Chain A
């Protein structure tokens, strides 16, 4: 990977006290920007990425040479219009695209941190990113937007910094990770740590990676991002480059081959320890608990205008969990709109070409920007 030279990095000099009790100093926060900041700095949107995303939201990702993860939504004249807005996205801390994470060298041991890296939370992730506002001299963002784990960051951001954004768009997310969410993440973590190559997180010293475990983690997670109907329509029982079953354990079915492929390309771009740390951050996320069980209190100080979006076929972060956010906001008379988008594409809908979603997002942002 031709990493470093293509990555913009802010060295955060303000010490950050983490929820686990540790404080991190002088840590790198990798970010990317799109569009340009206007004179009065009122057109900035902070986009938060999901579990396996990174700061390269749109265009060509210079590291993977693939399209950015939100190319459908972000770009000239798109939902998040780069002609109009200044878009900032940071790689989350704990990540593996340049921000402070477990693959970084520990100066004390001169080895990668591995599992010596502190356990981080969504709160820590957001508190690290707010430094970008100071870096750009932005007092108030026009919007914070994100799907899935990105949506959790939206909620945490508004709660931590109630005056720092005019609007907030949490998409396909939850205010509290459910038992099912935690279960799937645990499955992934167990797959990684069960891989012999993982070596208690010290694989980089051995010049190996737990690729088998990480691939299985990705395969399992990938299923949760799709819907049963979507899978059935795309793959059904179609066979993979063969006319009949082979009575063995090769990939007879297209769905098997597809999942194997998804697993194999993932290990080339993602760090196994980062996967452990970030899924843990998601599992620990419970915004209501931060406010003694009353989610409304998380938003009581903000005047931000919210727009919550869910998808009909998303069973990972189902509509009801998104609606719980809406209910908490309505309970305190907050300004909140909500729509459930019809889509067969499961949780992944927010990343894909779902016209109703893309137009709703665009309309909300552009109309709110006029106000």
Chain B
């Protein structure tokens, strides 16, 4: 099982209602259903992936988070999860605000564009970095709003939400991110995982 999923599971309390935004083929939903006593729904833009989710017995809506979160009333869910998708939205600010309206808390994971390999890649090649986790070229990437862990922390201050917990994934090790190690984590973490609140 992906380490990211285990970290997310550990952040969730039992007996809660959860929405997985951009739930893909439902792997995380299945994992959480099996390992946690939670009521979980998903929303996914790809018809094919919605079909896969249905075949797994998951409750999933075909839809686009940028438009379709509107239908949920405030605090419909205890947690809303957004796994490595924030960068794909046209307007990440609206999405974050919607996540925190629909959910009491949100878990957002971001592929860290501040990682040293990405920086080195741009420095030495002079072209937009293509990495294992970000395999597309600049012109065909769905990731139109890449950010770094540091960007995300600054973002929280600009649009005013609280980061309740922030974790870095470095070579399969999980560690806390805090003010004093932010620059270091921003250089070495492949993934940032944030538990956020209004």
Q: Using CB atoms and an 8 Å cutoff, list the residues of chain A in contact with chain B.
A: 305, 307, 326-327, 330-331, 333, 335-342, 356, 359-360, 363-364, 367-368, 370-371
Contacts and interface: CB of A to CB of B under 8 A. Distances in A.
B61 A337 contact: yes
A370 B72 contact: no
Contacts of A364: 54
A363 B51 CA distance: 9
A359 B59 contact: no
A331 B59 contact: no
A342 B51 CA distance: 12
B47 A337 contact: no
Q: B interface, by DSSP: helix, strand, loop or mixed?
A: mixed
Which of B41, B54, B58, B76 is most buried by chain A, counting CB atoms within 10 A of its CB? Answer: B54
Contacts, number: 55
Contact of B59 (A305, A342, A370): A305
Q: A interface, by DSSP: helix, strand, loop or mixed?
A: mixed
Contacts of A368: 57
B119 to A, nearest CB: 41
A330 B102 CA distance: 11
Q: How large is the interface on B (under 10, 10 to 19, 20 to 34, 35 or more residues)?
A: 10 to 19
Contacts of B76: 330, 333
Contact of A327 (B54, B55, B71): B71
A253 B12 CA distance: 64
B19 to A, nearest CB: 10
Given A307-B54, A330-B76, A370-B57, 11 more contacts: A326-B61, A333-B17, A337-B59, A338-B61, A338-B62, A339-B50, A340-B62, A360-B51, A363-B54, A363-B55, A367-B56
Nearest to B63: A338
B60 A337 contact: yes
Contacts of B73: 331
A360 B54 contact: yes
Nearest to B44: A339
Interface in B1-47: 17, 41, 47
Contacts of B59: 305, 335-337
A364 B61 CA distance: 13
A276 B11 CA distance: 59
B71 A340 contact: no
Nearest to B56: A367
